[in-house]
Amino acid sequence: MAPIHWGALAFDYQVLDVLGPFDLLNSSSQFLLNAINDNFHPVDEKALARAPEFVFHHIGLTRDPVHLLTSELTIVPSTTLDECPELDCLLIGGANPIGFEFPPEYIEFIRRHVAAGKLLFTNCTGASHVAATGVLDGKNATVNNQEFEWVKKQFPKVKWTKEKKWIIDGNIWTGSGAVAGMDMISHWLKENFGLDVLIAGSSGLDFEPRNNDGLFEVLPQRYDSNGKHISTHVL
């Protein structure tokens, strides 16, 4: 299986919007699950065989450091728009939406990605930034619920809803908040690679994904002090 290339545009987004989903993907990768299987406790062979490999790209206009919105964290882009390899999936985190504008180069990059039929994911207020590019016009989408009424007024051509934790419309997935975005990525992992891969990956984070109605769907695997599997609960 060829590696799946994920990219995130570098700007002043909330840290968890991007790093949370990326860490969950990494924890569900064949590389990490093999390391767990070799060093800590057994991972189901079928899950290991189906687990994907990911390559992550943090994309800037330049490689200059970018200070993020929260947690006093600064990142250094791993690539630039001009140098970035072909992406399979693009994730857009959320900045403070008041007064925020993407540079024209980012807008064109997002439009090209969507037009090519590639998967676009937004998390938290990231949907409002993407709405400004026009690619959400006429589509169903969600956004951080605290900004919901404001976003509806700003971008009336989008069919906004807050009934679900995430919305899928064609090749665009929108999550309603930082942790809901992790739930959204969990669903994508389960649908594409299997529930057992998601359980193995989420267990490494002791993360309990919720379904689209906000109910806990998968509880992590538990192990005793000798590394023996205790139980797996699926609601």
pLDDT above 60: residue 231: no
Taking residues 43-60, what's their average pLDDT?
A: 96
Contact 189, 40 (CB under 8 A): no
Stated pTM of the model = 0.92
C-alpha distance from residue 83 to each of 8, 62, 78, 88, 91 (Å): 14, 10, 10, 15, 18
196: its two tokens: 């057992």
| Domains of the chain with CATH codes | 4-234 (3.40.50.880)
Q: How far is the C-alpha of 91 from the C-alpha of 171, rounded, in Å?
A: 12
45 pLDDT band, cuts 50/70/90, is very high
What band does 117 get if pLDDT is binned at 50, 70 and 90?
very high
Mean pLDDT of the 5-29 span: 98
| Angle, CA of 176, 182 and 188, to the nearest 5° | 100
